[in-house]
Structure 1
Amino acid sequence: MAPVCLRDCKAWQDAGMSLSTTSNEACKLFDATLHQYVTWTNDKTLGGIEGCLKKIKEADPNFVMGHVISNGLELIGIGRSPIIDPEFRKELNVMSDLAKTQPLSEWEELHVAALETFAKGNLPKAAEMWDWILLDHPLDLLAIKLAHDSYFYLGQQTQMRDSISRILPYWTATTPLSSYVKGMYSFGLLETNFYDQALKVASEALTVDPKDSWSVHTIAHVYEMKAKIQEGLTFMEQTESNWKEGDMLACHVYWHWALYFIEKGEYEAALTLYDKYIAPMCLASGSMLDIVDNSSLLHRLQMEGVHLWPYSRWE
């Protein structure tokens, strides 16, 4: 991955997305957080997502878009709910109150409104609002990624594909992270059964950045859907060193790798991946998505007739 050039206040303004803060540090940290969200990794050189979010609030506690990205990541990560978490509800209220007490651009106001809508449980409407933002701001990576993830959760495959398709012409090869946007598009193509085109687009994205784990994820799905199990196993083995450090998605990619072994009836190989990577990563992250992968893999093995308990290596 090329060195990250983080945008200050003027760079954000030049991109047509002025941020309501005078702190260049806050703007750069916002960009650093966004970069990690899009690339599915906690980058130690940037301080990790949690570190960046903490520093944003230190740099400018009244920075509305700092609160937006912080709350947005909490909501989209499905780890916290304002319905049952009063502290999170308080954080969302801080964002809303700040938005009412300072002049914001229409772009920022829409982001706040979309988050408030999401927090109330109306994810379809929130996704629609992020698409509204993209009509005037097609280079808004936060809106692109939140919409993409939302359509994924909602199972709205066509919207997930077309949301990216509409903005893709505005992204050139020289636009930072453009290959990751292409990778998102490849997944939309996959989900709408354009397997060959999805494979082509994901491969193009990986040519630019081999560490793009979402494009790796697309290709894993393509080989599964086309029942090309050996091709999938070979691809995983040959590319593992590229994507295994992407801590936010690596567990899921290993899960896909294990599915190939289950398909072949090589259950011991699937359990080896579980023991060595999937379970430890889940324990380290505590992510709900990683927990789902862990439980679903064990359930699949159980349905195959594999006796998981007592299991000697867990004794």
Structure 2
Amino acid sequence: MSFHDDHGLACTGADADSAAHYRRALHQFRCYIEDPVASVDAALALRPDFVMAHALKAWLHLLGTEPGAIAVARDCLAAASRLPANARERGHLQAIGALVDGRFRQAGRVLEEVAIDHPTDALALQAGHLLDFYVGNARMLRDRIARALPAWSSAMPGYHAVLGMYAFGLEECGEYVSAEAQGRAAVEIEVRDGWAQHAVAHVMEMQGRERDGIAWMRADPAAWSTDSFFRVHNWWHLALYHLELGEIDEVLALYDGPIRGERSTVILDMIDASAMLWRLHLRGIDVGTRWQQLAEDWAPFAAAGNYAFNDVHATMAFVGAERLDLVDTVLETQHAAIQGEGDNAAFTREVGQPLTRAIRAFGQRRYAETVRLIRDVREIAHRFGGSHAQRSVLDLTLIEAALRDGQQALAVALCNERVGARPHSPLTRLLRQRAAPLRVAA
């Protein structure tokens, strides 16, 4: 049995009723809302031979980088592999198999081929887009979507998501005017599109438009936060603006409320919590027992070793809580990961392990070592994933380490870098004021 979806793509094993649940799951995933796993499970309950429903369930588990979810994805792959499938569906399964084995880049390449042949395959575009993010490939974040965009129109379901992904890719390539326009257009079509909302937030973050960003995020927070599994990250973006402006009380209120109030142990949510507390730590802000609570929740993942970007953010929490035993566990696990065959071996060797050591050195007040380690990998840090906004914490850590180590000329030079993007931010002015006297004293 084969059923054709809203874009004319054949879906082996589907019928009208199961396809309705699958369609709902795709919409939920595009907007990052509600429970797409429950929806796809409903599709599979009706049609266990629905190949793309198995594939979607696998993607939903794989694309959060949760180590425990890999087994679920492997089971989905095994179930789907026993079923008849068309070429497009086999492409998805091949890509899932690659990612289950830790081969991020190969999975992305297979999905690239799927989308070239089937540019209206929104799932192939979205999964590929997220893989481009995880490997730090800014060009493909943009161009994977640009290739498919002419096949889409505003009359097609999911068009908003394509615009939102394109907006984020444009932003990561520095094309801010176009990125903002595409992101705003996506939100106008679908107000609950959390990814498009966040793409515009990224533009304003990169341009140093903190007040614009606050206005954008606070205009309709219910739209992008209600029943959204992407809400923590978008609240984090709002907190970043307030932090840049020195509005610490607002930052702590957001941290204790929508960012961390539910004490989520979802890795992507804990990354945001670590990144925010570390930025506060760099500014000398006493965060009380927040570090200890976060480190406790990160502790079960200290030996995960499946994605270096996660390791570095776990290390921030462990250093903040003075749990150097857990930092040692991360480093031991990274040593083993480097010997592996998946892409994370390179992510860890080239970027993740040096940054883990840099964060540990900062916590031990060995600031010269922090400076050296971050400078060694700063230009290639995109290779372990994340966005420009997320990786800016490395620049802030480098500046602070240089200041604390008395490296006056370097501190001034790094502050001057920041002026270009954020000439009016209070944090930039504060850093320059701290750096300039050091240079005069020298």
Give SS of 1:19's match. strand
Matched, 1:299 2:278: yes
Matched, 1:261 2:253: no
What's the counterpart of residue 217 of structure 1? 198
1:74-98 deviation line (CA, Å, top 9, x unaligned): 1112123577x4x6544432332x1
Identity of aligned residues (%): 29
Please give the residue correspondences for 1:229-244 in structure 2 after superposition, counting only pairs within 5 Å.
229-244=210-225
1:204-258 deviation line (CA, Å, top 9, x unaligned): 2222223222122112111111111111122222232321215121110110111
Aligned residues: 291
When normalised by structure 1's length, the TM-score is 0.86
The structural deviation recorded for 1:290 is 0.5
My pick for the range that moved more, 206-215 or 225-234, is: 206-215
Paired letter, 1:288? I
Please give the residue correspondences for 1:265-276 in structure 2 after superposition, counting only pairs within 5 Å.
265-276=246-257
Which runs of 5 or more structure 2 residues have no equivalent in the other structure? 294-442
Do 1:82 and 1:119's aligned partners in 2 also have CA atoms closer than 8 Å? no
Do 1:251 and 1:282's aligned partners in 2 also have CA atoms closer than 8 Å? no
CA distance in 2, matches of 1:266, 1:15: 47
What's the counterpart of residue 137 of structure 1? 118
CA distance in 2, matches of 1:233, 1:223: 9
Paired letter, 2:57? S
Q: 1:272 to 1:127 in 2, by over 3 A?
A: same
The structural deviation recorded for 1:163 is 0.3
What's the counterpart of residue 109 of structure 1? 90
Q: 1:282 to 1:178 in 2, by over 3 A?
A: farther
RMSD: 2.1
What's the counterpart of residue 51 of structure 2? 64
Which runs of 5 or more structure 1 residues have no equivalent in the other structure? 1-7, 43-47
1:189-208 deviation line (CA, Å, top 9, x unaligned): 00000111111111222222
Do 2:2 and 2:10's aligned partners in 1 also have CA atoms closer than 8 Å? yes
Please give the residue correspondences for 1:1-315 in structure 2 after superposition, counting only pairs within 5 Å.
10-12=3-5, 15-42=7-34, 48-80=35-67, 85=71, 89-96=74-81, 98-99=82-83, 102=84, 104-245=85-226, 247-283=228-264, 286-310=265-289
When normalised by structure 2's length, the TM-score is 0.62
Do 2:7 and 2:156's aligned partners in 1 also have CA atoms closer than 8 Å? no
CA distance in 1, matches of 2:157, 2:129: 18
Tell which structure's C-alpha radius of gyration is larger.
2
Do 2:179 and 2:199's aligned partners in 1 also have CA atoms closer than 8 Å? yes
CA distance in 2, matches of 1:287, 1:82: 11
What's the counterpart of residue 45 of structure 1? none
CA distance in 2, matches of 1:193, 1:131: 22
